[in-house]
Amino acid sequence: MDFSLDLGREVLRQTPVVLQAMLSELSEDWIAGDEGPDTWSPYQVVGHLTHIDECDWIDRTRAILEHGTERMLQPVDREAGFIRFKDWKLGDLLDRFATVRTSNLETVATLVKADDLGRRGVHPTFGEVTLGQLLATWVVHDLNHLGQIVKTMAKQYTQAVGPWSAFLPIVNAP
């Protein structure tokens, strides 16, 4: 499927709703659980998503639209949200994410037209990229992290499911 602004916005608009439904009202055991060293808890994922929404997608969109390939896109600290939101309550963090996401989608609606998707910028690792690739990555980034949260939560019960783990590939996935 080719990237579509309208289809992409459908997913981006729903991510805060999904996170709210999936995580609000859960105990600390669920939201703080991870898969071990160098893995992220659901709480950390929400902090990451919020931080990236605050300082990545729209900043890079504007940079491509305003500067094209004349200026390299700024690198992003993927774990900065862990520190920034460390002491926030999950409900407040989910609300912040929803607010930032709504604002970002409004900004995209005013800034980006379908014929802008081929415009190019320079990523610090990948080199030349298009705006369409950046925005498609935003959508898949959300889906990737939703999957990460689900997998992390499922793995909390790896031992508890006993022999049924043979039918639950999510608990055996790397």
What are the pLDDT digits (tens) for 91-113? Answer: 999 999 999 999 999 999 999 99
In tens, the pLDDT along 39-48 reads 999 999 999 9
First CA to last CA across the chain, in angstroms? 27
The span from the CA of 155 to the CA of 150, in Å, is: 9
Residue 174: is its pLDDT beyond 90? no
CA–centroid distance for 50 within its chain: 8
DSSP category for residue 35 = S
Fold observed for domain 5-172: Four Helix Bundle (Hemerythrin (Met), subunit A) (1.20.120)
